[in-house]
Amino acid sequence: MMSIDGRTRVLGLLGDPVCHTLSPDIHNYLSDRLGINSIYVPFHTKPVGLYDAVKGAYEMHIGGLNCTVPHKNEVMKYLTDIDEGARAIGSVNTLVRTDGGYKGYNTDMMGLYRELMVYDISLKGKPVIILGAGGAAKAVIYMCMKYGASVIYLLNRTKEKALELSAYYAKLFHDDNRIIPMSLSAYEDIPRDKYIIFQATSIGLAPDNDRVAIEDEAFYELCDIGIDLIYNPFETRFMKSCRAAGGKAYNGLRMLLYQGIIAYELWHDISISEEVADEVYDILMKRVRGNIVLIGFMGCGKTTIGQKLASDYGYEFIDTDDLIEKRCGCSINEIFATKGEAYFREMETEILRELTLKASHAVISTGGGLPLRQENADLLQRLGRVVFLDITENEVISRLRGDLTRPLLSGDDPEGRVHELISYRKPIYSAAADVTIDVSGRSVVEIVAELMN
């Protein structure tokens, strides 16, 4: 993080609450990465203090602000200008400093639209279902109308809100027939077809991971593509239900990413490349998933330390070697003997790819050779915080003495082999890891404590 001086541009977030926001991760990474002298700070702002906060921020030369729940509507009263799209959506999440006051924008809608483009999803002529009629749903309805969805079933627990929004957008787009407001419980009345379904309710947000707006699995047979605006948990129950019914499913993390990127572009009048956007996405993904990935040489304690960590801190424990053995129906030794090392390495990559799609809040213990492939090292970085458990040669030799189950050590000179392998692998492990922990001569409890500090 760069140091703050009189020339540092201060940006921030107004919200209540703001403690779990990922926005500082987006904006502060961008400033560091692009060498821009600005810093982004969350400001906890109660509704009663919103006017003072906006006025005070302007007086203090705050360069720009984001607005989140519950201020996205209310803040519109305190702005000197509002972008046409934000006015139409009826909600502002980005304030850009201009002469005399802030101008309001809505980058949520464009953020979601950019997510759809990344996943190659077109709305043109497609039937859509939207679950929810709160603040976020407004941006979704506007986007679906603007980009040509053929019909929009708008379902909400409180039907009046769905009626209100459908009337508003029907008038705005001079189109009375495209939005069909319904109560959430009336989902069985939706005609059989394959829909793009947007999940815009707050149901299923962590810690309520097991909840979903519509429980009935039959509903998900309507799903061609499901997009949950929620991104924490990374894989929501809604997404699982869409996939189980044969549909595709995505979460709202890219929407969050792009609404932030677009705000940053507005504040700094620059354009951010997809390459840099992907770097930010990887950081967000790590934060949201909360996986811990253990790498290191055989015998360094990945399983023991991983299991202790999982049981003490409530993570799921996953061992990539166990997954491979289960999939192949035989031991690692047998796989090496019958199919060869290349086959085993291919399996490691396949398992890792699958884990990057679904693992969250897990401690993942990996095979000693897994990070050696560059493709795997890249996948590990996407999976979570990568921890290299560093062990000395002597300690490996004393721990593994007499263990003939390790295929790579089954030759005449296991000690020479350990020396050769560790010398080769150590720099690769270091490069693949976010953190290195020295495990030689230390207890599991000590190591776990350092890891979680």
Site residues (vs ligand NDP, CB under 6 A): 69, 108, 132-137, 156-158, 161, 184, 200-203, 205, 213, 229-231, 252, 255-256, 259
Look up 358 and say whether it is catalytic. Answer: no
Q: Which is nearer to ligand NDP, 82 or 203 (CB)?
A: 203
Q: Which is nearer to ligand NDP, 229 or 400 (CB)?
A: 229
Q: Tokens 């190591």 identify what position?
A: 447
- Determine the Cα–Cα distance for residues 449 and 446; give it in Å rounded to an integer: 5
Least distance (Å) between residue 159 CB and ligand NDP: 8
Distance of CA 265 to the CA centre of its chain: 21
Least distance (Å) between residue 277 CB and ligand NDP: 14
- Determine the Cα–Cα distance for residues 418 and 423; give it in Å rounded to an integer: 8
- Helix (H, G, I), strand (E, B), or coil: what is residue 29? helix
Q: Which is nearer to ligand NDP, 115 or 319 (CB)?
A: 115
- Determine the Cα–Cα distance for residues 451 and 309; give it in Å rounded to an integer: 9
Among residues 72, 126, 302, 308, which one is catalytic?
72
- Helix (H, G, I), strand (E, B), or coil: what is residue 181? strand
Q: Which is nearer to ligand NDP, 157 or 399 (CB)?
A: 157
Distances (CA, A) of 427 to 127, 415, 447, 451: 52, 19, 21, 20
Tokens of 12: 């921030």
Least distance (Å) between residue 111 CB and ligand NDP: 6
Strand partners of residue 437: 389
Least distance (Å) between residue 383 CB and ligand NDP: 21
Q: How many CB atoms lie within 10 A of CB 47?
A: 10
Name the H helices within 359-443. 374-383, 393-400, 414-432
Q: Which is nearer to ligand NDP, 253 or 318 (CB)?
A: 253
Residue nearest to ligand NDP (CB): 134
- Determine the Cα–Cα distance for residues 113 and 125; give it in Å rounded to an integer: 16
Least distance (Å) between residue 233 CB and ligand NDP: 11
What element of type H or E holds 293? strand 292-295
Active-site residues, by number, are 72
